[in-house]
Structure 1
């Protein structure tokens, strides 16, 4: 799945209340992740999309953590 060009955000640019979605696979998540991030692996994203819509702020920004970036 490709969403086109999206801006990158550095860790130092995040605010304490920013919403984080981690789409890395389970093994990558288990190797290390940011506390409080919602984990929905890309391979499960379509099936679990409802979890994102329930958890994410309706009027805010969702910051996505992925393996490859870009």
Structure 2
């Protein structure tokens, strides 16, 4: 290598971004969102993981919807 670096833009992922993503996903899956710290992530994991593994839900589709909703 000659010492050159390739730089990629980094997106800062905040708790708010994750929460928006989770709420949007749960709504698309037919769940109503109720704020309960700790429970939301457990429900999201238990609901989302099998759907991601099977290909039923694609992350890119949800990311696009969440980012379009940001101010």
If the TM-score is normalised by the length of the shorter chain, which range does it land in?
A: under 0.3
Which is richer in helix?
2
TM-score, length-normalised on structure 1? Answer: 0.27
Q: Which protein has the larger Cα radius of gyration, Structure 1 or Structure 2?
A: 2
Normalised to the residue count of structure 2, the TM-score between the two structures is: 0.27
Bigger relative contact order, structure 1 or 2 (CA pairs below 8 A, ≥6 apart):
1
